[in-house]
A and B are shown apart, each in its own frame.
Chain A
Amino acid sequence: MLARIAQELFWLGRDLARAEHTARMLDGVFHADVAGAAGERDIALSWAELLAIIGEKAPAPGAVDGDGADLEALAGQPLAARLLGRAEVASLLTLDTDSQASIVSCVARARERGRGLRDVMSTEMWEALNTFHLGLAGRDLSAALVSGPYSVYHDVKERCALFWGLVERTMLRDEGRSFLEAGGRIEAADMVLRMLRVAVPPSPKRSGSEGEALALLHAVGGFQAYRRAVREAPTVGPVARFLLYDSSYPGSVASSVATLHSALSNADALPRSSPPVLRLGRLLADLELQRRAPDLAAGFDETLERVQEDLELVDSDIEDRYFAMAAAAAVHL
Chain B
Amino acid sequence: MNSKIDDKKLHQLELRISSLLRVGVLISGACLLFGWIGQLRQDGELLSTFTTYHPVPLLERMQWALLMRDRSLMMAFIGLMILVCLPVLRVAMTGVLFILQKEYKLGLMAFGVLGALVVSFCLGIDL
Chains A and B are bound partners: no
